[in-house]
Structure 1
């Protein structure tokens, strides 16, 4: 055998070894899936632990006994919780009497539409500047023109109260976490669980403890909205320059002076970003809280969904979209107002002072007029754009069902037949132990030992709650929808990451889409498709796509320019650049996008229980409707949380492993570059 042949054979063997070294995780995952398919083929339909929707096990009965005991308890803890609920009710009722609900003997609220509009514009100018006033004023007018003035103000009241309390509690806690590693390590797991839980899951335990009504809506909104304020504040405090802190310490400042004079001013802008996230989370939950009789725009949305009046839901949904954009833009602008004012100089500061004085007087006059005169109190009814818009939407929905039903039904049936059903057959119809072993193996390969431990604990909990089969059905829906999200994310994200023009055009649309509460996404999807599990999945795809696309776009655009130039220098084509350079080097962003996509889809699939999604979402909804099934609903809620934690841990640890520096022989030969910057 010639030396040339030996050299070629050695190079071939080296290439195979290098490929296996690089692709071992992918090959291992493929091996697990093949093994799962073989085991499923021989054991299909056995030991799936499936139960009927009307069945309850002893575990569910135990939860029902606990919920009944909580509802009937009479002790100090219950008295304290009752006092909190009563206090919240009092605050909300006072604000409603002020703005939306007449208090006897008055026939109208204390402050009418003119006063509310003036207060909103004055407050917006004070905290965000005059440009934001140009958004806020038309937004409030549109609330009335759409026919939902009182509902819009009620939603703002619940959201506002929750945000004030969430920031009042969350910012000090975040400061504490930022200063203490012990406090941070104590509260971080709690925050992880709270942010992993889908919003709909919060409702049942809160309704058990506090009942239903405006108070429970505000309390559940407060709990859901607090984690962003805590996390962002802790990050902002930790991000303050250590050099700056050391310099101030050398001047003899104590802890309080350092916090007030250095840390908070330097962290202020980031903390306001946390307030923005808290506000958007509060709006999202306050809308869904209509399910526990919370006031606001969620009520007409929910009523329209229940009665099939999609036009009514659509108009209320538009009002929610307007409110979401208004709050997002205003809170974002407030984070940069001080910097803009500083650039404007002293003259602009004087103009602002005069404007605030004049605006304060005008606001007081408007409030007085709205208290005295009915024309300034009750929103004019002469112009109504909500009713005709609702009728047009209903007509459009009827046209779709009548003339395009074959198209929409065909899309639904094909997707269900060729994608959803086969995946559900594999995951949900495998014996529980086969599915468990396969999931654990995937967790180990993707995320390592930590992911394996987390998955094992979560699967043990799911098994113990007697809802294994429903959990696997829900998991199937989440995985299939997330796969579609990732396809969209890669296609659009790569396009955005490789083109600044496309990024500038698409990103504002994605930013606006991320401000919308998940409840809103169900409405247009229901117009296109009937209420079923496919509807919930499509809504989940639309809801999760923006965040996944943005993360992938950022990962693609973040690939080192040096690496790109090196690849181009050896004649790499555009497709090779995408698939062999940019996507592999952005795999950490891809896994992070998968993580967020999974959690977003899970949240929407659970909400989809209201429109026929079935499985765990239905179990929670049925637990609301039937008191005897509250225990099963609570078990379903915990099961969903466990699924969320499991998916979150697997993808999070997987992203951490993917982001670690890796150097392979093949890459060294091709580009001679390190990947430590990934």
Structure 2
């Protein structure tokens, strides 16, 4: 009987469920939609909850403290500083580890200064005067980068003296040189190790990520606590900031050597050392020099900021001019930094292309158009002899040792810039005031109110919800830890103010980067015209961006936003342009064949297909903006940056400034992880 029944059931087919009611169907549809779009639903719910709770609880439980008030954490950090001061004389670790490093670095810098930039108690001028320095730098540049770079270096170095900043400029070069040499000693072996060991790469990569994520201001107070203020702390700070790009680019260059070449060497019985020395390093030489270029530019940028911890160099006159609102003086010293950045960038770039230039040189020498290798060696040797003569003369004669007082280009230029700035401010005061007031009233004040005037626990929930919706569980986990750190510093309210300024500046950066990046990505002519400008803007150290912003808008939060905008636009624009250009040509051609308009192509095809690049641009733009916003504390930006500066200038606020640096670090890590995990998720979708 059961057999017959089974046969009938198979013949009749599966049982048909009774139709669901319309209510059940709607519920199932809603649940299915929520499952597919839970991130968007969560984000909308979090924003609605935020606005409602802010409207009800506005101004309560904000954890705001006065500028001179200190929490128990700040007092404890002050006691930690005092303990460090005591440990410098009583601790074996400080006596036998930290102090020798400090004395060694300070001694090296002092020796180089007495050699090239400053006099001593026994000799009022340096051992090598200005003529010898110019000749040495010109000869070294010609040897490694060619005649064009030599002319550029000679002109820039002479302008340093004509601007009235000879000693400060040479000091900056000394700090940058020492930093890059130490970075090379540490970074090149690390990059090689990471390229040859996946385990080493997996361990060191998060450390490098953290070093690159931290805003530059966050390094200053902790290292000043350990090494004291002065050249040693400045150089260690600069090393931490400029080491990661060298390590990463070295790893990239070694890892990307052709596997076929490596297999051929191995098959011929080459050892690991022979493979490295004879194959990988020579083939990755150009990439490694690019890493040295990036390390040099980062070192120069940080060396100027290190003026806050008494680092020698051009950062000192810039800082003094900013504090006294001397726009002309800040412009001239800032211009010297820009010239130095251009000089170092072009020289190291030319050195990175040396192999190609050398090949062309040899080809022309064989054709008789250029002197051959032997003649080049002769020229370099003659140059060395002439440089040696110049060094001897500058050592022996005061006129060639002390840079001449005339012609003085710095004072007239500073006066002209001050007058021009005053004219611009008076002429365009209506527009600049309108722009500042409009952006502040329409964006900064409302967002700051939403962030800083909401109860702290509301913002904890909101940031956690946003992290979960955008980046997933890993981003939410990092956000919880960072929120706990910020709360622990006692500077939650100031952190929210800094976050508001950062988000407004980032929004402006992304809008500009989207417009320019899409334009560049769709037009090679536009790209070739705009990209050199972006390259030049990326060359300028962050400190310098404060000068024109201060000149136009005075010491306000908006000044920090404008400086951060100018600093973040170049990198974000390049990433967007590269993302648009990376969209498959086949997809673009198929869309064009269907008659899509330019706007439809951008909005429906290119931007959706390059969304991971756009989010990465937002990530990099946000980090650049955050690092610049906190530097904006020097020009009235307020927030955490102001507290860091106050911690250096007022000893009783050192603990609060150190806590602000910790809060900046936590804020930077949180924003970085949210945007990075979001970019990774969009790349998978």
- How many aligned positions are there? 647
Give me the whole-angstrom Cα distance separating, in 2, the residues matched to 1:601 and 1:445: 23
How far apart are 1:425 and its partner, in Å?
Answer: 1.0
Equivalent residues in 2 for 1:214-293 (5 A)? 214-293=231-310
In structure 1, which of residues 577, 580, 587 is the aligned counterpart of residue 601 of structure 2? 577
1:142-174 per-position Cα deviation (integer Å, ceiling 9, x unaligned): 112212111111110111111111111111111
The answer to whether the 8 A contact 1:341-1:349 is kept is no
Structure 1 match to 2:94? 78
Equivalent residues in 2 for 1:282-431 (5 A)? 282-345=299-362, 347=365, 348-431=372-455
Structure 2 match to 1:644? 668
The answer to whether the 8 A contact 1:540-1:602 is kept is yes
Give me the whole-angstrom Cα distance separating, in 2, the residues matched to 1:116 and 1:19: 71
Give me the whole-angstrom Cα distance separating, in 2, the residues matched to 1:611 and 1:563: 48
1:216-268 per-position Cα deviation (integer Å, ceiling 9, x unaligned): 22222122211211122122222223332222222222221111111111221
Structure 1 match to 2:26? none
Residues 18/325 of structure 1: CA separation in 2 closer, same or farther (3 Å cut): farther
Give me the whole-angstrom Cα distance separating, in 1, the residues matched to 2:675 and 2:375: 52
Structure 2 match to 1:9? none
In structure 2, which of residues 49, 52, 55 is the aligned counterpart of residue 41 of structure 1? 55
Structure 1 match to 2:13? none
The yes-or-no answer on 1:59 pairing with 2:60 is no
Residues 16/327 of structure 1: CA separation in 2 closer, same or farther (3 Å cut): farther
Structure 2 match to 1:557? 581
The answer to whether the 8 A contact 1:311-1:393 is kept is yes
Unpaired stretches in structure 1, ≥5 consecutive residues:
1-14, 663-678
Structure 2 match to 1:670? none
Corresponding residue SS for 1:51: coil
Structure 2 match to 1:482? 506
Give me the whole-angstrom Cα distance separating, in 1, the residues matched to 2:515 and 2:469: 26
1:630-674 per-position Cα deviation (integer Å, ceiling 9, x unaligned): 1111111111111101111111111111122x4xxxxxxxxxxxx
How far apart are 1:406 and its partner, in Å?
Answer: 3.1
How far apart are 1:374 and its partner, in Å?
Answer: 2.6
Give me the whole-angstrom Cα distance separating, in 1, the residues matched to 2:429 and 2:36: 48
The yes-or-no answer on 1:611 pairing with 2:635 is yes
Give me the whole-angstrom Cα distance separating, in 1, the residues matched to 2:37 and 2:513: 23
Give me the whole-angstrom Cα distance separating, in 2, the residues matched to 1:502 and 1:306: 39
How far apart are 1:350 and its partner, in Å?
Answer: 2.7
User: TM-score under structure 2 normalisation?
Assistant: 0.91
In structure 1, which of residues 434, 438, 442 is the aligned counterpart of residue 458 of structure 2? 434
Residues 575/27 of structure 1: CA separation in 2 closer, same or farther (3 Å cut): farther
In structure 2, which of residues 507, 514, 524 is the aligned counterpart of residue 500 of structure 1? 524
Structure 2 match to 1:460? 484
How far apart are 1:575 and its partner, in Å?
Answer: 0.7
Structure 2 match to 1:50? 64
Equivalent residues in 2 for 1:124-135 (5 A)? 124-135=141-152
Give me the whole-angstrom Cα distance separating, in 1, the residues matched to 2:267 and 2:484: 54
Structure 2 match to 1:172? 189
Give me the whole-angstrom Cα distance separating, in 2, the residues matched to 1:243 and 1:462: 51
1:79-110 per-position Cα deviation (integer Å, ceiling 9, x unaligned): 21111111111111111111111234333211
Give me the whole-angstrom Cα distance separating, in 2, the residues matched to 1:553 and 1:75: 54
Corresponding residue SS for 2:284: helix
Give me the whole-angstrom Cα distance separating, in 1, the residues matched to 2:41 and 2:333: 49
How far apart are 1:509 and its partner, in Å?
Answer: 0.8
How far apart are 1:42 and its partner, in Å?
Answer: 1.8
The yes-or-no answer on 1:545 pairing with 2:561 is no
In structure 2, which of residues 195, 206, 211 is the aligned counterpart of residue 189 of structure 1? 206
Give me the whole-angstrom Cα distance separating, in 2, the residues matched to 1:97 and 1:571: 71
Give me the whole-angstrom Cα distance separating, in 2, the residues matched to 1:23 and 1:149: 62
The yes-or-no answer on 1:205 pairing with 2:222 is yes
The answer to whether the 8 A contact 1:145-1:384 is kept is yes
Moved more, 372-381 or 424-433: 372-381
Give me the whole-angstrom Cα distance separating, in 2, the residues matched to 1:328 and 1:189: 28
The answer to whether the 8 A contact 2:42-2:465 is kept is no
Give me the whole-angstrom Cα distance separating, in 2, the residues matched to 1:356 and 1:252: 39
Give me the whole-angstrom Cα distance separating, in 2, the residues matched to 1:403 and 1:129: 46
How far apart are 1:23 and its partner, in Å?
Answer: 7.2
1:276-303 per-position Cα deviation (integer Å, ceiling 9, x unaligned): 1110010011111111111111111111
Give me the whole-angstrom Cα distance separating, in 2, the residues matched to 1:323 and 1:269: 22
How far apart are 1:463 and its partner, in Å?
Answer: 1.6
Structure 1 match to 2:24? none
The yes-or-no answer on 1:445 pairing with 2:469 is yes
